[in-house]
Amino acid sequence: MATITGSAVLITGGNRGIGRGLVEEALSRGAERVYVGTREPLAHPDARVTPLALDVTDAAQLRRAVDEVASLDVLVNNAGIALYDDLNDRSVLERHLAVNLFGTYDVTRAFLPLLLRSRGATVNNLSVNGLAPLPLIPAYSVSKAAAFSLTQSLRALLAERGVRVHAVLTGPVDTDMSRGIDAPKASAESVARAIFDGVEKDEEDIFPDPLSESLAEGWRGGVAKALELQLADLSAAHRATS
């Protein structure tokens, strides 16, 4: 179980929207150090903030960022893109996968040694569109479904190594990314608060806004979650005997 107070937290995509809300929430909860990864280093008045130049698709920037982080307790994979394009152009899907899937994979892999050392947690900010696609943003939905599967796999593989893996399944949030969605939207600040509440309560799957929370009870007691747990146990048993 991760506690934000006194911890070192790294947040990707921390310059706006939910990411900026997460930065401020981590500071308000007493984080000792908050590393903020953005394409351009973020200026912040709080001395506890360490800005990192971190484009999650840039391997060289990622290597330099790893060298700048002394210790890490909580990694929040928040960086993401959502383009309102259809699936006729493969390059659009590839751009989404590069950030939303492989960005999450590469950042987690790069910082995993620090998380293993602290027995910390990784938090992947995903979407309810990873459970069911939103046709307005199909490439985004595909990439988030893949990122959710990655999150579940990492959760099972890292559990026995002491690293917790949390999936955040967000609905519409009042940010630039959701500008084209005509639906009630939660504030970025309230979502950030609910995300860290969920981490500190050790919730595997976090539903941080009213729309996603309406799915929580059915998800946690549903067939898909039951299957995830059964397959994780099966995998653990296989590794133990191989």
Owner of token pair 């950042």: 107
Catalytic residue among 105, 144, 201, 225: 144
Query: Exposed, middle or buried: residue 176 (CB in 10 Å: 0-12, 13-18, 19+)?
Result: exposed
Give the C-alpha separation, 28 to 26, whole Å.
5
Confirm whether 140 is a catalytic residue.
yes
Please pick, among 35, 84, 105, 140, the residue that the annotation labels catalytic.
140
Could you give the 3-state DSSP secondary structure of residue 26? Answer: helix
Using the Cα atoms of residue 220, residue 222, residue 228 and residue 232 in order, give the sign of their dihedral: positive
The partner residues of 9 in beta bridges, in order of sequence, read: 34, 74
Q: Report how far apart, in Å, the C-alpha atoms of 222 and of each of 153, 175, 180, 202, 229 are.
A: 18, 30, 31, 19, 11
* Cα 158 from Cα 165, distance rounded (Å): 8
**For this structure, is 105 an active site residue?**
no
Catalytic residue numbers, as ranges: 140, 144
